[in-house]
Amino acid sequence: MGKIIKTYDAFEERFLVLQLALAVIVIFAQVVMRYVFNSSLSWSEELARYLYIWQGWLGISLIERERAHIEIDMLKVKFHGVPRKFIETAAQLICVFASGVMAYVGVKMVLFSFTSGARSTALRIPLGLVYAAMPVGCILYCVRVIFHMLENLGVLKTEQAGEEG
């Protein structure tokens, strides 16, 4: 299981870096075209925007992997042991529920977009591909939260959990 998680982690990082690099290249090309050649690319801004949308939604999974999401820990720091695990688990269940609802709504939005045939203005790609970032990101985030919840409860042992403790 640990090898699968490490492989996915490496893929996720490389994919996000590749997306960022592509967005920077596209934006740089647009700036060069506009200011050097006095012309512009009709599709560059749209592509960069869609890449950033995917980065944002996929990034929530990466941030959860690092346990770096912003949290209000006022209650958590006051308790230790079982009460603290209960509070952490309750918060994680709320996150799983919220991301599950967002993934469900996102899937409905993607399906509607594909069935309606909506396409982007400049690239002419189906908008469902862009909207798919939301359910994909939420599902990946949900899976990571579930893994962390199982680690916190002692049900799942991973190398990462051992390193933190």
Query: Is residue 151 over pLDDT 80?
Result: yes
Rg (CA), the chain: 20
What is the model's pLDDT at position 63?
Answer: 94
Mean of the pLDDT values across residues 59-88?
Answer: 88
Q: Which of 2-11, 34-43, 119-128 has the lowest mean pLDDT?
A: 2-11
Q: Distance (Å, rounded) from C-alpha 124 to C-alpha 58?
A: 23
Residue 160's pLDDT is 52
The closest of 101, 99, 92, 80 to 149, measured between CA atoms, is: 92
What is the average per-residue pLDDT within 93-106? 97
Mean pLDDT over the full length of the chain: 90
pLDDT digits (tens, 9 = 90+) for 120-138: 999 999 999 999 999 999 9
In the chain, % helix, strand, coil (3-state, to 5) comes to: 75, 0, 25
